[in-house]
Amino acid sequence: MVNVQVYVTLKEGVLDPQGSTIENALQTMGYHEVASVQTGKYIELEIEEGNDLEARIEEMCEKLLSNPVIEDYTYTIGKGVS
């Protein structure tokens, strides 16, 4: 079993109203040092090791986990952040 972390973020230029809302809220709460906020998705997968692991992860990202029209993805294998 390998642990795979997928990070999905909005492409440059795509509006991020959730990020703007968080940014405004942090400013209102007194965190004036916050200059910008971008939101995204974090997805952790447990996958049985096999052939073509990276190719299959990329396929999953493109077909289901992200929307390639407006989102970018990156992934790391084997070292969880949590």
Size of the site for a second copy (CB under 8 A): 38
Q: Hey, how many other C-beta atoms are within 10 angstroms of the C-beta on 40?
A: 16
Whole-angstrom CA distances from 22 to 11, 27, 42, 66, 82 are 18, 9, 17, 22, 22
The yes or no reply on residue 27 touching a second copy (CB under 8 A) is no
The yes or no reply on residue 39 touching a second copy (CB under 8 A) is yes
Binding mask 41-70 for a second copy (x = CB under 8 A): xxxxxxxxxx-----x---x--xxx-----
Strands 2-10 and 71-77: antiparallel
Task: Tell me which residues touch a second copy (CB under 8 A).
Answer: 1, 7-9, 19, 22, 25-26, 29, 31, 33-50, 56, 60, 63-65, 72, 74, 76, 81-82
